[in-house]
Structure 1
């Protein structure tokens, strides 16, 4: 009986505290994260609209939204003063070269339509760092924006060119995945380094990887990663830079590969990449490479 009386009392309290039909509720749109966190477009939003959204139908999210990211990682938002410099260099050194070689329609069709920007790197439990991801050809997440500098930005020193090249390497890598997901590269590529791919790539240095015929250590993780790492390194380093990388191999690799074999494998991979771009996309890869490297040089030298 006591339990019934207590329940009745609680229900009565709830009824007395309940809202009346004519009582005005607080505007739910004021609750952040539930669709109400809107803002008046500022210079950054106007620049994005005029430079990316209107001409290319590309949207960019730079204001913080954890729902777009992995909840298991600790990340920080990008600094607003980095947004326009980063996006303008992306347009200049990635989109413009592809547009010049493949046409505006190619860019509109295959470039991801949604970019999410993050200020910090994404650190993984195995000691590796994620610098970018591509999801289904629609969305690219770019990390480490707060470290980005070009020669036109305050505090830039020549050694910071590594950060610029690192960002474009990430973009070219992820876009390479989008391309081969739409038109697969030849199976013969997978046979060049068959039996040498490993999940322990993060314990291998880039120099040792190259001595075994891989352009980077991460290229050793799987054939698809090998293919897009070749694309990224060839574009970002340019023809001379890639040639220097190949010619720098003078020691046998940990896997027993001789310098001659390692160089031959990298040249085989290079030839397939060039042929793939010509046949699958009607793109002159060496011309694209020159345009890309020239644009990156202008940002860093």
Structure 2
């Protein structure tokens, strides 16, 4: 059975779930955004760049053209714009993959990264809200809202929410599947996981109960991955603000959980989460240099 990781963002008005819509994309005729997998399909500049920067060094296939075989036809999806997909591919490589390269070397990164990244122009909606990111069994990651990227006005909160947190979260699942974490972690708040009902919670409310986010309340494995992804994609000051939100009840629980998470990454993978966060934060602050 396939296992999916889904991030949802909900906007609640009295009695109504509401969502936002995107304008139709303008299609660049010289850089078609629709999949052409025939033998006569020509490689454009982005395709060649992906070969040299994703396929050859990491064995990752990036799909930015709309492909029905990789997407759910139940969702009203639009293709990623060529220029924005190109820009996001550069950002993801620099902030995510190369951050791990810097910590433990490209060989280890190449071994464990997801093998397919599918880019989607807009977001998908369910009855519960808006899907921010999606991953399947450590092999494929879906990145939504690509067309919301503006390289002239980079929004780090938006990129963390839609792109980076998803990548770090799913990568943590892959590491956990390779080397299991201490099962004592799941027992800390074993009685408080609520499964798919997590979307009814707010992040601050979840922190007060000992979960770093509402999604962490789904199950132990998601809780663990959320701890890693949220820790490295936020500054030390922001993390401390989360701890203060947790209060006298939630903070000790979160600190107990984080100790297990930190020790797991250090002892199983030789990764100091503080060092990884420092590298990720530095690279996030350098994104603008990619386009100057």
Give the alignment's TM-score, normalised by structure 1.
0.79
CA gap 1:38/1:235 in 2 versus in 1, 3 angstroms: farther
CA gap 1:118/1:38 in 2 versus in 1, 3 angstroms: farther
Q: Using the alignment, how far apart are the partners of 2:35 and 2:209 within structure 1?
A: 49
1:299 aligns with 2:287: yes
Unpaired runs of 5+ residues, structure 1, are 1-31, 250-258
Q: Using the alignment, how far apart are the partners of 1:143 and 1:77 within structure 2?
A: 10
1:187 aligns with 2:149: no
Q: Deviations over 1:125-184 (max 9, x none)?
A: 2x23222222232222211111123xxx23x16xx3221111211111111111111112
**8 A contact 2:232–2:280 mirrored in 1:** yes
Q: Using the alignment, how far apart are the partners of 1:86 and 1:60 within structure 2?
A: 11
Give the strand-richer structure, 1 or 2: 2
Q: Using the alignment, how far apart are the partners of 2:49 and 2:37 within structure 1?
A: 23
Q: Using the alignment, how far apart are the partners of 2:80 and 2:282 within structure 1?
A: 27
Q: Using the alignment, how far apart are the partners of 2:285 and 2:245 within structure 1?
A: 22
- Structure 1 equivalent of residue 73 of structure 2: 71
- Structure 1 equivalent of residue 28 of structure 2: none
Q: CA deviation at 1:75?
A: 0.9
Q: Deviations over 1:79-135 (max 9, x none)?
A: 11111210111111111111111211111100112211111112112x232222222
Q: Using the alignment, how far apart are the partners of 1:243 and 1:168 within structure 2?
A: 20
Q: Using the alignment, how far apart are the partners of 1:68 and 1:38 within structure 2?
A: 21
- Structure 2 equivalent of residue 129 of structure 1: 130
**8 A contact 1:201–1:221 mirrored in 2:** yes
SS of 2:284 mapped into structure 1: helix
Correspondence for 1:236 among 225, 233, 237: 233
Q: CA RMSD in A?
A: 2.0
Q: Deviations over 1:169-203 (max 9, x none)?
A: 11111111111111121111111112111132111
1:280-295 matches, within 5 Å, as 280-295=268-283
How many pairs does the alignment contain?
254
**8 A contact 2:207–2:245 mirrored in 1:** no
- Structure 2 equivalent of residue 177 of structure 1: 173
SS of 1:119 mapped into structure 2: coil
Give the helix-richer structure, 1 or 2: 1
- Structure 1 equivalent of residue 115 of structure 2: 113
Q: Using the alignment, how far apart are the partners of 1:279 and 1:238 within structure 2?
A: 23
Q: Using the alignment, how far apart are the partners of 1:177 and 1:141 within structure 2?
A: 15
- Structure 2 equivalent of residue 265 of structure 1: 253
Higher relative contact order (CA 8 A, sep 6+): 2
CA gap 1:169/1:35 in 2 versus in 1, 3 angstroms: closer
Give the alignment's TM-score, normalised by structure 2.
0.81
SS of 1:184 mapped into structure 2: coil
Higher gyration radius (CA): 1
1:1-301 matches, within 5 Å, as 35-36=37-38, 38-125=40-127, 127-149=128-150, 153-154=151-152, 156=153, 160-166=155-161, 167-198=163-194, 199-249=196-246, 259-299=247-287
Q: Using the alignment, how far apart are the partners of 1:223 and 1:129 within structure 2?
A: 23
Q: CA deviation at 1:34?
A: 8.8
SS of 2:73 mapped into structure 1: coil
Q: Deviations over 1:47-77 (max 9, x none)?
A: 1111111222221111111111112111111
